[in-house]
Structure 1
Amino acid sequence: MTSTPVLTLELLSAFALRRDGVRLPVPVAVERLLAYVALSNRRVSRARVAGALWPDADPARSTGCLRTALWRLRRVSDGVLLVTGTDLTLCPDVRVDALESFAAIKRLQAGELAPTLPGWLTADLLPDWSDEWVVGWRGRWRMLRLHVLDQLAARLETAGRYSEAVDVALAALQDEPLRESAHRSLISAHLAAGNRAEAVQAYRRLSHLLDSELGVAPSPEIIHLVAQVKLPRADAARRIVGG
């Protein structure tokens, strides 16, 4: 008995199509085709696919390009797309890391607390692709995971897992250094752990960054958070806030 090959499509960090773990050589046009259909996550018309992937071509030429891409896909692997005369969809047995991660984000938003920081939560979606439709999906993915990182940091702090909360906040800041909610999570986690010096240092880094990049001060919420730090001198909190 021959087992059915396991096909996986990777869209986070970089594109890859694998059969039973072995990466398959995929032409660029086929990469775009598979990524577009996979991210659509539904049956999509051939005309829509052709127009999105070859936007500068007239309908006849873009349709021809799609036919060529489908022919080249068949030479790479069967069992990836379901193709009819009018539309395309991903075969149900194909695993897609981005779609699985979108589903995992919904579970995290619903209150699930991950035992460790998932690697996919710090991965970008096809970061080296500049196609207009990819940029839209990448922006959506990025905002979702940054929001979940904020939520996860707060839950870890509440659970007393302070070092993990710090790691999650730092992961968000690596992606978006000006994200004040992530700075707030970082400072709060340091304070909850009793690491006042680290909290003050994190605040000062934020204050300098916002001043140099945007010419603004940290939010009143963050200022109030750090002003509660008790230092030896009576005016310590005021000096912290003033930088």
Structure 2
Amino acid sequence: MTSTARPPRFSDRRVVVTGAAGGLGQVVAALFREEGARVVATDVTAAEGVVPCDLTDDVAREELVQASLAELGGLDVLCNVAGIQQFAELGKITAAGLRKHLDVNAVAPLLLTQSYAEALVASQGNVVSVASISSVMGQPYNAQYCASKAALLLGMRSLAVELGTRGVRVNCVSPGGIATPMIEAAAAGLPADANWDLVAKSTSVIPGFMPPADVAESLLFLASDAAASITGANLVVDRGVVW
């Protein structure tokens, strides 16, 4: 009897996943491994099987790059999943909070891509970054997150043009609400008198938050050979948010 099992999509592919200690990043790293990839998983939070690294620390980030390249012998896929979100009404936004959102959500992924670029060119690999529906729509009490994810999305699209001439694909996935500890913590920043009519404008047609696995599969698709002709894209996975 002939087996119909699908062969692993990422056999012996070398992958780096950021934000892998929990939530979406943890699921993405696990799926890559199930599909045959050799994975270096990293996060600012300590966890089993995860390399600790503060991606906003220039020295620590470059040490991660060099160590991961030495361990893997190169790189085929960079998955920028790490991110932070904290809701805050305008009067509660601080310079430090805004800078941290930009540093984690936009600056670190762009600089990581820069550092891994030559390895990705050598392997004709690709980059997949997690943006957000917040990168393309205004949301109340979410200005610092929206600004940082918009910067990430346009930055990655710029790199898709630049690196595309050298055979490297660069894409983004823009999720809606995912059932992770991050969104639960972020909601603590909503004001007590929040305007829920405004908040409701960014809710989805299909009710409820998505399980991380629903979004993780979209990242693996963009990283796979099935997406060989896709670059500069922003794949929206949001259960039908009405824009």
TM over 0.5: same fold?
no
> Which structure would you say has the larger RCO, counting Cα contacts within 8 Å and 6 or more residues apart?
2
| Greater share of helix | 1
Greater gyration radius: 1
> Under a length normalisation based on structure 2, what TM-score does the superposition of the two structures give?
0.30
> Under a length normalisation based on structure 1, what TM-score does the superposition of the two structures give?
0.30
